[in-house]
Amino acid sequence: MIGFLAATPAERRLIPGGRLQGPTPYVIAIMMFVMVVIGAAGLALGSSARLVAAGVDNRYSVEIADGAAKAATAQALLAASPGVIAVRPVSEREMRKILQRWLGPAGAASDLPLPAIIDVDLAPNAPVAAIAMNIERQVPGARFVAHKDSLGPVLGAVRSLSWLALTLVLLIALATAAAVVLAARGTLDTHRSTIDVMHGIGATDDQVARLFQRKIALDALTGGTAGAVAAGVVLLLIAGGGSTWLADLTGGPLLGSRDVLLLALLPLAGTILATIVARMAVLKALRASL
Amino acid sequence: MGNAKLSTIVEFDRVGLRYGTGAEVLRDLDFQLARGGFYFLTGPSGAGKTSLLKLLYLAQRPTRGRIRLFDEELADAPREAMPAFRRRIGVIYQDFRLIRHLSAFDNVALPLRIAGADGADVEGPVREMLAWVGLADRASARPPTLSGGEQQRLAIARAVIARPELLVADEPTGNVDAEMAGRILHLLTALNRLGTTIIVATHDLSLIAATPGAQMVRLDNGALVDPTGSLRHPPLARQEQGR
């Protein structure tokens, strides 16, 4: 598969110029750096959304608007219901603390009426509808609320951001491909006289294209690896510092081994893309001649 | 007639060539060249010699007419077939077209490497060829460091290293003195004796006089001047005549 990267010394001499000559490897390095960072952010957001969604998947709340008097009944009913794993009433202190974040000191005022809230964890196969119907019938004014419904808009936004990040990665990949096309055309123009001589002697388009795609592939591999390594260092620095709170918040690591493998494969994918694009650009240009 | 057809290497049938929408630079070219022949292509500047050579070494397709080369029709040949034809043709360009960043050795080796040879299959023949053109001690020199005559001989070595059946040379003595011109002609004659058909575009009539048995193809204003008709029905190649 990578046989075209090997070349005899004579073939290497035909198109002079070592690796890291010209702007192409540097452009690819910068593009790869941005791709890996944005890709990592996208994957981390996706992981966060999955972790948060998994955390609230079987979590519900019973909200009783007019109060504490009915809370004990509701708690007893919930504890006796099939499929209920845990029942935890939210204390008034916790609720006032949350309210104070939004309302300021007024949130602590004793004349501000508070609902009773009971958090409930259900088993994955628990009869959710039956439990909800039972509690809402037995405790007038009670509402059985799924946490995932409350967090739905937030998770949707996070997932959208994740897709946006992956779309940006694709767009940067396209921009890289365009840069490679320009680089291939530039290299082709620079070596036009050599190509004309080779053609005149009987070289096939494939023989000529192999020389250029090899050069571009090495540039892409060098630049891509450098960019990915730099991005990796930056991500490790971020992961070692400020992002740990996010991992704590979501209850798990933001990038799994599969995500890391995916990011590590980006330079290889970039090299393959650059090689294919360069080959197509060179062959198209060569076909314009006899 | 059958023998004559077998010995034909190039056949032009009412060939015309124009560049873009301009006037025809070649008109109604109708001739055959015998395999193993030695031809001089002459005519005033602007007569179309270089354009005719371009048709012969497949740098241009005719805009009308039919060309047969090596007994194969070129008009219908796909682009992908051109490299195989070109490997049977050696070209000595007027401006040499040597690759400046390659050594003399690598320049001469290029046709062999393009044909797929490597290692000893390249080393021996290239050293031998460089010695044949008197450049054995300049194998590692790059073209810009060679004199005009040396570059000319290097271009000849590159053109003939793969033993082409047809050698096309555009003013191969145009940039060298009389002594060097004589040496180059000697090289071409020696190659012709080995069976290669030679076509040389030149203004130098003394070359023609110094090459017994060579035929002259004269172009004037894009048309062939062939009062004897010998180019339409060429004699058999000299080797065949000698048998």
- Picking from B58, B59, B114, the nearest residue to A207 by CB comes out as B114
The mean pLDDT value for B123-146 works out to: 93
- In chain A, residues 207-226 whose CB comes closer than 8 Å to chain B: 207
For residue A3, the model assigns a pLDDT of 61
The answer to whether residue B63 neighbours chain A at the CB level (below 8 Å) is no
Query: Token pair for residue B235?
Result: 């004699």
Task: Answer whether residue B137 shows pLDDT above 90.
Answer: yes
The answer to whether residue B190 neighbours chain A at the CB level (below 8 Å) is no
What stretches of chain A show up as alpha helix (H) in DSSP? Answer: 9-14, 24-56, 71-80, 92-103, 128-138, 147-190, 192-201, 205-240, 244-250, 257-264, 266-287
Task: Answer whether residue A16 shows pLDDT above 90.
Answer: no
- Confirm whether A202 is domain-assigned: yes
Is A202 within 8 Å of B99 when comparing Cβ atoms?
A: no
Q: What b/e string do you get for A175-211 counting C-beta neighbours within 10 Å, with b at 16 or more?
A: ebbebbbebbbebbeebeebbebbbbbbbbbebbbbb
For chain B, give every domain's residue range: 2-242
Lowest mean pLDDT among A17-31, A240-254, B101-115, B119-133: A240-254
The mean pLDDT value for B165-182 works out to: 86
The answer to whether residue B113 neighbours chain A at the CB level (below 8 Å) is yes
The mean pLDDT value for A261-266 works out to: 90
- Confirm whether A61 is domain-assigned: no
Is B110 within 8 Å of A199 when comparing Cβ atoms?
A: no
Q: Are residues A275 and A160 in the same domain?
A: yes
Query: A10: nearest CA in chain B?
Result: B106
Radius of gyration of chain A (CA): 30
Q: Are residues A178 and A274 in the same domain?
A: yes
End-to-end CA distance of chain A: 30
Lowest mean pLDDT among A277-281, B22-26, B142-146, B238-242: B238-242
- Which distant-in-sequence residues (6+ apart) come within 8 Å of A263 by Cβ? A36, A39, A40, A43, A228, A231, A232, A255
The mean pLDDT value for A85-113 works out to: 82
The answer to whether residue B141 neighbours chain A at the CB level (below 8 Å) is no
- Confirm whether A247 is domain-assigned: yes
Whether residue B199 contacts residue B39, with contact meaning beta carbons closer than 8 Å, is answered with yes
Lowest mean pLDDT among A165-174, A208-217, B123-132, B229-238: B229-238
The whole-angstrom separation of Cα A78 and Cα A101 is 30
For residue B1, the model assigns a pLDDT of 38
For residue B4, the model assigns a pLDDT of 42
The answer to whether residue B139 neighbours chain A at the CB level (below 8 Å) is no
The answer to whether residue B5 neighbours chain A at the CB level (below 8 Å) is no
| A-interface mutation test, from B74, B101, B107, B140, most A Cβ less than 10 A away | B101
| Reported confidence tier of residue B36, pLDDT bands at 50, 70, 90 | very high
| Reported confidence tier of residue B140, pLDDT bands at 50, 70, 90 | very high
The residue with greater pLDDT, A243 or B12, is B12
Residue B120 host element (H or E): helix B120-132
Report how far apart, in Å, the C-alpha atoms of B226 and of each of A129, A279, B197, B234 are: 104, 48, 19, 11
Is B86 within 8 Å of A204 when comparing Cβ atoms?
A: no
The whole-angstrom separation of Cα B141 and Cα B147 is 11
For residue B3, the model assigns a pLDDT of 41
Is B97 within 8 Å of A196 when comparing Cβ atoms?
A: yes
- Picking from B59, B101, B115, the nearest residue to A290 by CB comes out as B59
Domain limit, last residue, from A140, A169, A186: A140
Lowest mean pLDDT among A57-71, A123-137, B144-158: A57-71
For residue B84, the model assigns a pLDDT of 93
Most confident listed range (A94-103, A265-274, B202-211, B219-228):
A265-274
Q: Are residues A34 and A176 in the same domain?
A: yes
Q: Are residues A184 and A119 in the same domain?
A: no
The residue with greater pLDDT, B57 or A151, is B57
- Confirm whether A146 is domain-assigned: no
Query: A191: nearest CA in chain B?
Result: B99
For residue A30, the model assigns a pLDDT of 94
- Confirm whether A97 is domain-assigned: yes
Q: Chain A: nearest CA to B206, how far in angstroms?
A: 29
Q: Which residues of A touch B80 (CB under 8 A)?
A: 204
Q: Are residues A187 and A276 in the same domain?
A: yes
| Reported confidence tier of residue B239, pLDDT bands at 50, 70, 90 | very low
**Paired residues of A222 in beta bridges:** none
Mean pLDDT score of chain A: 84
Q: Are residues A48 and A162 in the same domain?
A: yes
- Confirm whether A148 is domain-assigned: no
Task: Tell me the pLDDT tens digit for each residue of B110-119.
Answer: 999 999 888 8
Q: Chain B: nearest CA to A204, how far in angstroms?
A: 6
| Reported confidence tier of residue A252, pLDDT bands at 50, 70, 90 | low
| CATH entry 3.40.50.300 includes domain B2-242 | yes
For residue B241, the model assigns a pLDDT of 46
Q: Are residues A72 and A41 in the same domain?
A: no
Task: Tell me the pLDDT tens digit for each residue of A146-204.
Answer: 888 888 888 889 889 999 999 999 999 999 889 888 888 888 888 888 888 998 999 99
| A-interface mutation test, from B51, B102, B165, B166, most A Cβ less than 10 A away | B102
Q: What percent of chain A has pLDDT over 70?
A: 91
Q: Which residues of B touch A204 (CB under 8 A)?
A: 80, 83
Q: Are residues A46 and A110 in the same domain?
A: no
Mean pLDDT score of chain B: 87
Q: Which amino acid is at A36?
A: V
How many other CB atoms are found less than 10 A from the CB of residue B183? 18
Is B82 within 8 Å of A290 when comparing Cβ atoms?
A: yes
- Picking from B99, B114, B118, the nearest residue to A203 by CB comes out as B114
Q: Which residues of A touch B113 (CB under 8 A)?
A: 10-11
Q: Are residues A26 and A157 in the same domain?
A: yes
Return the DSSP state at B169.
Answer: E
For residue A65, the model assigns a pLDDT of 79
For residue B243, the model assigns a pLDDT of 44
Q: Which residues of A touch B111 (CB under 8 A)?
A: 201-202
Q: Which residues of A touch B86 (CB under 8 A)?
A: 199-202
Task: Tell me the pLDDT tens digit for each residue of A213-230.
Answer: 888 888 889 999 999 999
The mean pLDDT value for B101-122 works out to: 92
Q: Chain B: nearest CA to A211, how far in angstroms?
A: 12
| Reported confidence tier of residue A4, pLDDT bands at 50, 70, 90 | low
Owning domain of residue A77: 66-140
The mean pLDDT value for B83-112 works out to: 94
The residue with greater pLDDT, A12 or B123, is B123
Task: Answer whether residue A250 shows pLDDT above 70.
Answer: no
Domain limit, last residue, from A140, A167, A191: A140
For residue B159, the model assigns a pLDDT of 94
For residue A17, the model assigns a pLDDT of 65
Q: What SS3 class is residue A21?
A: coil
Query: B85: nearest CA in chain A?
Result: A202
Is B99 within 8 Å of A194 when comparing Cβ atoms?
A: yes
- Picking from B102, B106, B111, the nearest residue to A201 by CB comes out as B111
Q: Are residues A237 and A157 in the same domain?
A: yes
Q: Which residues of B touch A288 (CB under 8 A)?
A: none
- Confirm whether A58 is domain-assigned: no
Whether residue B199 contacts residue B41, with contact meaning beta carbons closer than 8 Å, is answered with yes
Task: Answer whether residue B237 shows pLDDT above 70.
Answer: no
The answer to whether residue B86 neighbours chain A at the CB level (below 8 Å) is yes
Q: Are residues A203 and A260 in the same domain?
A: yes
User: Considering its fold, how many domains does chain A have in total?
Assistant: 2
The answer to whether residue A92 neighbours chain B at the CB level (below 8 Å) is no
For residue B180, the model assigns a pLDDT of 80
Domain limit, last residue, from A140, A168, A189: A140
